[in-house]
Structure 1
C-alpha cells in the first residue's frame, strides 16, 4: 500500500459523501508535495526527527486541504454550465471542509503560516548541513522547497508560523571549512537576513526576495549543484532583476 494511503482513502470517502465526487476521483486528488517529503526524510536521517515529523504533518494537512479544493474544481469544471446550483453548493461544502482542515491544525484559513514553517525546516537543514563536512543531501532537500516566485517567497520568509521561531542563531553558525559546509552556512545566513527585512513596501519586498535568491544560490552549491540548478523562477529573477548575489558574510 502506498505511503499515506490510509489517510488519503479516509478523506476521499469524506469527499464522496459530502460532494458526490467519485471515490476513485477523490483519491487521485491526494498529492502531497514530494519536495517537502524529501526534506522531511533528509531531516529524519540526520537525526532531526522532531522537525521532520512536524514538516510531514504540515505536508499532509496541505495535501488534505488540496483534496477538498480539487474536488470543488472537479465539480465546477463538470457542472458550471449544466448545474450552477450544484457548483455553488459544492463550493460552500468543499471550501469550508478545506478551511476546517487548516483550523484543526491551528493554522489560519488564509495566510503564509504553513509556508513559513516549511522554511523554518529548510533553515534548520541548511544549518545542520553547515555543521558537517558533507551535508549535500540536507542542502539539496532544503533548496528543493524554494522553487516558486521569489517575491512570494519574500512574503513567506517574513511571516510567522504557529509557534515562535528565530533565525538569529544563523549569526553563530560554525563548522568545517569544506566548500559544501561554507556554502550551507551562507545559505542559512541569507535566509535569516531575509526574515529580518521589514514588511513595509516594494523596496523591502524585493530586498528579501534577492536575499532568498542568494540563499538558493549558496544552497545549490552546498548541495553539489550549479548555482540555482533546477530553480527556474529563481534563475529568471536573478537574470532579470539582480546584478549579483548579495553578500551575507563568510
Structure 2
C-alpha cells in the first residue's frame, strides 16, 4: 500500500466529527498533495479534480461557488456548481471527483476564488475548502512572441511548435537536443530530459533562454538568473510539460520576456 494511502487511513480516525471532509489533493494525483492555485488557459471550461478525506460515509452533496478574486472574495461569477463524484474511489476513506468551472467571457487574465461547500441532508451548509483559479490569456502571449526579433525552439516541448504554427509566429526549430549556442538577440525556449547534462548553451549578445525539465521534484520549481546581462529561466516540474494544456508555462514565459532588458 502506498505511503499516502496509509496516511489517509490513519488520518481518517483523526478527523474531528465537526470536520466531515478535508481536502487531500487539488488538480492532481494524491502523490503530489494540495496546492493552493489552479491555472488554466482562457477559452475552455476548467475541469478541476479534487480528493477529500472523509471520516464516514457521507450523506450530502458538495457544491462550488466562484467569485472574482480581488485580493479577497469579490463579485459572484458562478453559483452551486455540481461535484461529479468518482464511482470507484482509490480508498473508501477518500472522496474523489471534479468540478467543471465555466471559463470567463474575456480575453484578459482573470483570477477567481472557488469556495467548496458541503450540504448535509439538504439542511446544514458548511465551507470545507477554497482555492484560487488563475486564467491565462494566450492573446498576451501571442503579442509578446510576435515582437521578438528571433525565436528558437528545441527539445520535445510538446504542443509548443503546434501553437506557434497556429499563431503563424515564425521560429527556428533547433531539433530534439539542447543547442550548444543561442544566436544573438534570440529567445530560445525548449525542454530537456531529466537525465540531460546540466551544461547550458552559450548565449549570444542580447539573447535569453527558458528551459523546462521534468525532474523528481514534488512541485513546480522556477529560478530566474542573469548570466552576463542575459536572462536565464530554469523550470523543474514533476511531470512532462504540455504546452497545449499547461497554463503556468505561458505565465512563466510572459514573466521571462517582461524581465528582458
TM surpasses 0.5: no
Structure with the largest fraction of strand: 2
Structure with the largest fraction of helix: 1
Q: Based on CA coordinates, which of the two structures has the bigger radius of gyration?
A: 2
TM-score in terms of structure 1 length? 0.26
